[in-house]
C-alpha cells in the first residue's frame, strides 16, 4: 500500500489552526484551539498505526491485512480524556464569565505590579492593594468586588437584561 | 508483593468512589480518606522494604502475556516515591480535615474535596507505578484532572484566573506528551518502557533526539524547569493552603520522576545532558532571583519551589550514580519540606490574616509554635547544616565536583549561590513577619485600601499585639466595621480570618459588649489539628536528617539500578530476561 498524504496534511492544518486559536485572548477560542490540537494529536497517533487495513477482528482478516488496533485504543482513551477536560474547561470559562463578565485571559498580576511600582505604590505588591483605578478596565471587577457584588451591581445597572445562566435560579440581586 | 503492587492505585480510587457516595456524611468522608491514604502509606512502606530486599517486581495487569500487558513496575525508585508521596498526602489531608473542623461545616471545602484528593493520590501512585508510556500519560491525566478541580475549588475570581493558566498549560504539556507517544509508537511499535529500552537504541540518532526532546519538553513543563516554569508562581498561590501544599510537594516531582525515567531507562547515554544542565542553571538562578523579589509568602515559596527543581535536574543531568542518588534524595527531601512550608504559610495566613509579608509582624510573640514551625523547614530549605537540605545539596555538589568540567562546576557554584539567596529570602520573611515588632508592620493607605480592602490591616493590628488583640482592634474598630461589608477576599481561609478579626475589632469598640469568647480563643490558639498536621510534616522533614544515612544508601542503590537498567527490564520480562534481545541491554 502507498502511504497517504491526506493524514499529514490534515495533521499540519489542525495543528496550525489550533496554535493560532490558542494564542487568542478569548477563552472560548483557547478552548476551540485546544480541541483542534487534541484532534490533531489523535490523528497523529492514528497515522502511527501505519497504512490502513482490515478491521482488527480475529477471524475477520489475516494478521498481515489488519490495521494496528493499539493506536485506536490509545486514541479512544485520549478522546475520553479530552472530552472530560474540555467540559471542565468550558465550566471554568463560564464561571469566569459570570464573575467578571469577561472571557478573556486576564492581565498578569506580576506585570501590573511591576508597572505600578511608582513611589506611591512602591509597596503595593499584593493584588488586593492596587488601586482599582490603575487597572485595565477589564480587570477591575475581578479585584474590586466579590462575585455577588458584581452580580448585584450588574443587576442594578441592567435590570431588564436576562441572566446568562439559563435554567439557574435568579441571582441574589434580582430577588431582593 | 505482586498483590501489593496495584494497591496504591486501587485503594484511593475505591475510597474516592465510596466517599463520593457518602458525600452527605462529612465525618464518614474524612474517615475514608484518612484510612485510604494511611493504607497506601502502609502498603508503600511494605513495597519499599520488599523492593529493596528482593529487587524490582513487575505485575502484568489482568495476567496478559508480557510485552502486551499493562505493567505496574515497582522498583526502589517508584516504591520510595510512593512512600514519600503518601506520607505527605496524609499530612496534608490531616491539615485539610483540621481546617474543615475548625472553620465549621459552612466554610469548609465542598464535599467534593475528599473524593478529588483521593483521585489525585491515585493518579500520583499510578504515574509512579506505570510500566508503559501511555499509562504514564493516563496517570498524569488522572492527577491533573483532579488538580484542576482542587485548584479551582470554590470558584472565586483569583482561583479561576490562576486556574485557567494552569489548566491550559497542563493541557499543552499533555498533548505534547501524547504526540510524543504517538511518534514513539510509530518509530518502535511499542509503548512498553522495558521494551522501549531495548528498541529505542536501534533508532537513527536524529529520530531518537527528536523523541527524547519532545518527552523532555512535555515533562519539563510539568516539572516547572526554567523556560517552562512561568505558569507555576501564578497559579499555585491562589489555591487553599492544603491544596497548594500537596501540589507544591507532589505534582512537580511527578514530572521530575518522569524525567529520571526518560534519562535513565529510555534514553541513556546523556544525549541532552548539556541542555538539561543549562536548564538547571537557569532554573536555579532565575527562580531564586524571582523569589527574593516577592513580598507575598506563598509567591516567594512558589519561586523557591521552581528554583530548587534546578538542583534535581542538575543531579539527573550529571548521569553519574552519585548525581542520580543525590537527585533522588533531594526529591524526597524537597517533597516533604515544600509541603510543610506551604502548610505553615496556611497557618501564617490564619494567624496573621494575610500572607503579604509587609502586613505581618510580631508573629513570634503571638505564636511561638508557629515561629518554630516556620523556622525549622525554612532553614532546612536553605540548606543549613545538619538538616537534610544540607545533606542533599552537599551530595549534589560533591557529585558535580567529581564529574568535573566547566559546566558542572558552574552548576556547583550556582547551587551554592542559590542556597545562599534562599537563606536570604526565607530569613527576610522571618525577620519581618515573625521577629519585628508589630508596630513596624507597614500599613497601606491607598485609595484602594480605603475603598475596597480593609480586612488585613485591621487583622494585623489586632493580631500584631498578640494576646492584647482587643485593645488595638478597638482603635481600628470604626474603620474596620464601616468597611467590613466591602472587604475583598482572595481566599476563603483569609475571609474567615478577617471575619474573626473584624468581629473582634467591632466587639472591642464597644467596651460593654464582650468579645465573642469562641473567636477570641480561636485567634489566640490555633486549632490543634492544623498545628499537629504541620508539626507532623516538619517532624518528618527533621527525621529525614536522622535517617539520611540509610536513605542515602537506599537512593545510592536505586541510582545504580537506574543506570544499570537491567533490573527494570528483567523485572518486566521475568527472570530469564527478554529471550531475543538480552544482549541489547548494556
One domain, residues B243 and B286: yes
Task: Say if CB B112 and CB B23 are below 8 A apart.
Answer: yes
One domain, residues B322 and B215: yes
- The verdict on residue B439 lying in a domain is no
ipTM: 0.77
CA distance A12 to B439: 62
Interface contact flag, B296 A130, Cβ < 8 Å: no
One domain, residues B117 and B195: yes
Q: Closest-CA residue in chain B for A122?
A: B444
Chain B residues with CB-CB distance to A41 below 8 A: 175, 178-179, 182
Is residue B369 very low, low, confident or very high in pLDDT (cuts 50, 70, 90)?
confident
- Say what the pLDDT of residue B104 is: 55
Q: How many cross-chain Cβ pairs, A to B, lie less than 8 Å apart?
A: 142
Task: Say if CB B460 and CB B353 are below 8 A apart.
Answer: yes
To the nearest whole Å, the CA of B295 is away from the closest chain A CA by 7
Q: Does B428 touch chain A (CB under 8 A)?
A: no
pLDDT surpasses 70 at B469: no
Is residue A109 very low, low, confident or very high in pLDDT (cuts 50, 70, 90)?
low
Highest mean pLDDT among B50-59, B328-337, B485-494: B328-337
DSSP conformational letter for B511: T
3-class state of residue A26 by DSSP: strand
CA distance A128 to B452: 8
CA distance B240 to B550: 35
Which residues, listed in sequence order, are joined to residue A58 by a DSSP beta bridge? A61
- The verdict on residue B495 lying in a domain is yes
Least confident of A11-25, B6-20, B463-477, B482-496: B463-477
- The verdict on residue B584 lying in a domain is no
In this prediction, residues B468-474 reach a mean pLDDT of 36
Pick the residue of B488, B491, B494, B499 with the most A CBs within 10 A to test the interface with A by mutation: B488
Kindly list the distances between the CA atom of residue B405 and the CA atoms of B270, B274, B401, B409, B414, in Å, as whole numbers in the listed order.
15, 11, 8, 6, 14
One domain, residues B487 and B553: no
pLDDT in tens, B528-578: 888 888 888 899 888 888 888 889 888 888 888 888 888 888 888 875 555
Interface contact flag, B446 A121, Cβ < 8 Å: yes
DSSP conformational letter for B224: T
One domain, residues B77 and B164: yes
Q: Closest-CA residue in chain A for B148?
A: A88
Q: Which residue has the higher pLDDT, B258 or B522?
A: B258
State the angle between helix axes of B26-54 and B113-129 in degrees (0 to 180), rounded to the nearest 10.
Answer: 10
One domain, residues B378 and B300: yes
Interface contact flag, B148 A85, Cβ < 8 Å: yes
Q: Measure CB to CB from residue A146 to each of B446, B456, B489 and give the nearest one.
A: B489
Q: Look up the domain containing B459 and give its range.
A: 444-524
pLDDT surpasses 80 at A19: yes
**Boundaries of every domain in chain A:** 6-51+68-100, 109-175
In this prediction, residues B51-77 reach a mean pLDDT of 85
Q: Which residue has the higher pLDDT, A52 or B510?
A: A52
Q: Tell me the percentage of chain B whose pLDDT exceeds 70.
A: 82
Task: Say if CB B491 and CB B158 are below 8 A apart.
Answer: yes
3-class state of residue A11 by DSSP: helix
Chain A residues with CB-CB distance to B168 below 8 A: 22, 30, 34, 89
- Say what the pLDDT of residue A151 is: 57
Interface contact flag, B152 A95, Cβ < 8 Å: yes
Is residue B101 very low, low, confident or very high in pLDDT (cuts 50, 70, 90)?
low
Is residue B173 very low, low, confident or very high in pLDDT (cuts 50, 70, 90)?
very high
Chain B residues with CB-CB distance to A27 below 8 A: 164
pLDDT surpasses 50 at B137: yes
Q: Does B67 touch chain A (CB under 8 A)?
A: no
Mean pLDDT of chain B: 80
pLDDT surpasses 70 at B488: no
CA distance B55 to B481: 65
CA distance B561 to B260: 12
Fold that domain A6-51+68-100 belongs to in CATH: Helix Hairpins (1.10.287)
Pick the residue of B152, B196, B452 with the most A CBs within 10 A to test the interface with A by mutation: B452
To the nearest whole Å, the CA of B349 is away from the closest chain A CA by 14
CA contacts within 13 A on the Cβ side of B197: 29
pLDDT surpasses 70 at B388: yes
Pick the residue of B133, B159, B168, B239 with the most A CBs within 10 A to test the interface with A by mutation: B168
Interface contact flag, B446 A131, Cβ < 8 Å: yes
Interface contact flag, B446 A129, Cβ < 8 Å: yes
Residue B243 burial class via C-beta count within 10 angstroms: exposed 0-12, middle 13-18, buried 19 and up: buried
pLDDT surpasses 50 at B506: no
Q: Where does B156-224 have alpha helices with state H?
A: 157-188, 193-199, 205-223
Closest by alpha carbon to B290, among B307, B313, B311, B308? B307
One domain, residues B229 and B348: yes
Is residue B511 very low, low, confident or very high in pLDDT (cuts 50, 70, 90)?
very low
pLDDT in tens, B211-223: 999 999 999 999 9
The C-alpha cell at B457 is 490591616
CA distance B271 to B312: 18
Closest by alpha carbon to B391, among B538, B256, B559, B552? B552
CA distance A109 to A93: 19
To the nearest whole Å, the CA of A95 is away from the closest chain B CA by 7
pLDDT in tens, B102-133: 565 555 556 788 889 999 999 999 999 998 89
Number of helical H runs and strand E runs in chain B: 26, 2
Amino acid at each position: 500500500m502507498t502511504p497517504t498524504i491526506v493524514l499529514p496534511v490534515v495533521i499540519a492544518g489542525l495543528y496550525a489552526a489550533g496554535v493560532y486559536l490558542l494564542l487568542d485572548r478569548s477563552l472560548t477560542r483557547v478552548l476551540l484551539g485546544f480541541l483542534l490540537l487534541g484532534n490533531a494529536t489523535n490523528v497523529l497517533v492514528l497515522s502511527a498505526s501505519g497504512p490502513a487495513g482490515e478491521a482488527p477482528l480475529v477471524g475477520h482478516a489475516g494478521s498481515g491485512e489488519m490495521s494496528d488496533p493499539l493506536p485506536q485504543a490509545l486514541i479512544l482513551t485520549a478522546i475520553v480524556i479530552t472530552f472530560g477536560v474540555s467540559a471542565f474547561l468550558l465550566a471554568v470559562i463560564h464561571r469566569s464569565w459570570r464573575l467578571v463578565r469577561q472571557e478573556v485571559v486576564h492581565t498578569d498580576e506580576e506585570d501590573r505590579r511591576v508597572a505600578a511600582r511608582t513611589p506611591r505604590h512602591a509597596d503595593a505588591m499584593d493584588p488586593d492593594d492596587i488601586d482599582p483605578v490603575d487597572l485595565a478596565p477589564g480587570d477591575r471587577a475581578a479585584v474590586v468586588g466579590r462575585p455577588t457584588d458584581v452580580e448585584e451591581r450588574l443587576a442594578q445597572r441592567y435590570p431588564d437584561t436576562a441572566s446568562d445562566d439559563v435554567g439557574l435560579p435568579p441571582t441574589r440581586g434580582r430577588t431582593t | 508483593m505482586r498483590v501489593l503492587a496495584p494497591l496504591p492505585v486501587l485503594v484511593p480510587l475505591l475510597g474516592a468512589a465510596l466517599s463520593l457516595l457518602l458525600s452527605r456524611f462529612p465525618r464518614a468522608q474524612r474517615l475514608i480518606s484518612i484510612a485510604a491514604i494511611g493504607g497506601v502509606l502502609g502498603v508503600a512502606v511494605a513495597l519499599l522494604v520488599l523492593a529493596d530486599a528482593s529487587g524490582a517486581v513487575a505485575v502484568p495487569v489482568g495476567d496478559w502475556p508480557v510485552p502486551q500487558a499493562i505493567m505496574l513496575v515497582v522498583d526502589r525508585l517508584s516504591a520510595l516515591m510512593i512512600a514519600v508521596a503518601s506520607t505527605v498526602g496524609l499530612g496534608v489531608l490531616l491539615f485539610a480535615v483540621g481546617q474543615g473542623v475548625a472553620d465549621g461545616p459552612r466554610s469548609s471545602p465542598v464535599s467534593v474535596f475528599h473524593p478529588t484528593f483521593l483521585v489525585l493520590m491515585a493518579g500520583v501512585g499510578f504515574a509512579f507505578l506505570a510500566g508503559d508510556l501511555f499509562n504514564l500519560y493516563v496517570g498524569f491525566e488522572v492527577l491533573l484532572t483532579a488538580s484542576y478541580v482542587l485548584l479551582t475549588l470554590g470558584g472565586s475570581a483569583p482561583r479561576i484566573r490562576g486556574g485557567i493558566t494552569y489548566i491550559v498549560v497542563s493541557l499543552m504539556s499533555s498533548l505534547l506528551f501524547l504526540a510524543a507517544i504517538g511518534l514513539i509508537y510509530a518509530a518502535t511499535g511499542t509503548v512498553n518502557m522495558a521494551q522501549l529500552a531495548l528498541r529505542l537504541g536501534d533508532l537513527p540518532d536524529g529520530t531518537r533526539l527528536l523523541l527524547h526532546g519532545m518527552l523532555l519538553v512535555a515533562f519539563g513543563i510539568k516539572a516547572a524547569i526554567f523556560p517552562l516554569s512561568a505558569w507555576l508562581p501564578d497559579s499555585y498561590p491562589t489555591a487553599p493552603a492544603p491544596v497548594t501544599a500537596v501540589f507544591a510537594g507532589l505534582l512537580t516531582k511527578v514530572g521530575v520522576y518522569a524525567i529520571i525515567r526518560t534519562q535513565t531507562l529510555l534514553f541513556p547515554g546523556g544525549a541532552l545532558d548539556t541542555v538539561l544542565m543549562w536548564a538547571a542553571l537557569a532554573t536555579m538562578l532565575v527562580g531564586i532571583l524571582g523569589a527574593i523579589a516577592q513580598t507575598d509568602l506563598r509567591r516567594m515559596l512558589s519561586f523557591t519551589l521552581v528554583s530548587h527543581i534546578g538542583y534535581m535536574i542538575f543531579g539527573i543531568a550529571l548521569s553519574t550514580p552519585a548525581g542520580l542518588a543525590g537527585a533522588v534524595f533531594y526529591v524526597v527531601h524537597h517533597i516533604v519540606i515544600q509541603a510543610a512550608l506551604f502548610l505553615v504559610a496556611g497557618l501564617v495566613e490564619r494567624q496573621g490574616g494575610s500572607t503579604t509579608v509587609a502586613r505581618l509582624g510580631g508573629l513570634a510573640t503571638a505564636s511561638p509554635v508557629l515561629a518554630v514551625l516556620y523556622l525549622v523547614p525554612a532553614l532546612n530549605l536553605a540548606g543549613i547544616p545538619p538538616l537534610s537540605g544540607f545533606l542533599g545539596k552537599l551530595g549534589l555538589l560533591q557529585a558535580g565536583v567529581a564529574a568535573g568540567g566547566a559546566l558542572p562546576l558552574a552548576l556547583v557554584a550556582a547551587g551554592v549561590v542559590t542556597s545562599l539567596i534562599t537563606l536570604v529570602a526565607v530569613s527576610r520573611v522571618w525577620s519581618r513577619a515573625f521577629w519585628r515588632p508589630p508596630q513596624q508592620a507597614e500599613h497601606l493607605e491607598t485609595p484602594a485600601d480605603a475603598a475596597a480592602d480593609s480586612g488585613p490591616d485591621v487583622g494585623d493590628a489586632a493580631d500584631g499585639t498578640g494576646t492584647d488583640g482587643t485593645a488595638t482592634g478597638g482603635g481600628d474598630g470604626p474603620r474596620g466595621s464601616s468597611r467590613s461589608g466591602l472587604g475583598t477576599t482572595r481566599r476563603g481561609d483569609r475571609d474567615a480570618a478577617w471575619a474573626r478579626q473584624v468581629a473582634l475589632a467591632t466587639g472591642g469598640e464597644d467596651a460593654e459588649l464582650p468579645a465573642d469568647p469562641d473567636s477570641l480563643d480561636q485567634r489566640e490558639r490555633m486549632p490543634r489539628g492544623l498545628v499537629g498536621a504541620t508539626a507532623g510534616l516538619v517532624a518528618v522533614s527533621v527525621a529525614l536528617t536522622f535517617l539520611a544515612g540509610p536513605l542515602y544508601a537506599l537512593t545510592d542503590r536505586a541510582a545504580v539500578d537506574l543506570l544499570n537498567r537491567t533490573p527494570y527490564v528483567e523485572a518486566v520480562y521475568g527472570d530469564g530476561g527478554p529471550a531475543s534481545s538480552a544482549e541489547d541491554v548494556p
